[in-house]
Chains A and B, each alone.
Chain A
């Protein structure tokens, strides 16, 4: 079945450091891929998405490229801020009519000033 694997956390960085959170997936067909973020005390928010191979999703300085050859969708940001501290979830939506999302286990990011 479809699945998503994220790198283990927590990830602790200093402000302005470069961020990478790895995400790989297993899926048949051509899934859509998403990054959601959960700030402390808040609900899940869509951060970015990509719906086909080689698409790059971007938002708020974050980027992720849909790599079908490596079945990956790694999240990157060139310079993190304290306000980026949150839990990040990689997710996929399988091809076909199902709308359900399959999530990774989440990666906690802590950015220190």
Chain B
């Protein structure tokens, strides 16, 4: 069990560019979550997948954001036409099959995005 991994760990980009982040969940975890955390705040939910199906999206996830989880394994989060307000830490978490109230999410180290 190697834990949740995210790549890259840091990304600096210019306003207007597209960026893509990758998350590899813990093996056999079928739920995968994306959160965004800005400085001094708690993580905010963006979206989640159960296997390859995207089941819920936050209204924070504008049409510039898209997430995929082909084959129900790794996931990618793409931000198109980045804006300075997109600068944040993007966190990925995974959990085993739905256990209702007992579900525990395991977080990756995050990808820190800075938009200049």
Contacts and interface: CB of A to CB of B under 8 A. Distances in A.
A51 interface: yes
Interface residues of B, number: 27
A45 B40 contact: no
Contacts of A69: none
Interface string A83-95: 0000001010101
A99 B95 contact: yes
Contacts, number: 61
Contacts of B93: 44
Contacts of B98: 97, 99
Given A45-B107, A51-B102, A103 B56 contact: no
Contacts of A93: 101, 103
A81 interface: no
A52 B45 contact: no
Nearest to B95: A99
Given A99-B33, A100-B48, A51 B42 contact: no
Contact of A46 (B40, B43, B56, B106): B106
Contact of B31 (A42, A43, A99): A99
B105 A43 contact: no
B41 interface: yes
A7 interface: no
Contacts of A43: 4, 91, 107-110
Interface in B22-75: 31, 33, 35, 40-45, 48, 56, 58
B17 interface: no
Contacts of B4: 43
A20 to B, nearest CB: 19
A108 B108 CA distance: 20
A51 to B, nearest CB: 4
B33 A100 contact: yes
A100 to B, nearest CB: 4
Interface of A: 4, 30, 32, 36, 42-46, 49, 51-52, 89, 91, 93, 95, 97-106
Query: 9 tightest CB-CB pairs across the interface, nearest first?
Result: A103-B42, A51-B101, A44-B107, A100-B45, A43-B109, A32-B101, A43-B107, A103-B43, A105-B42
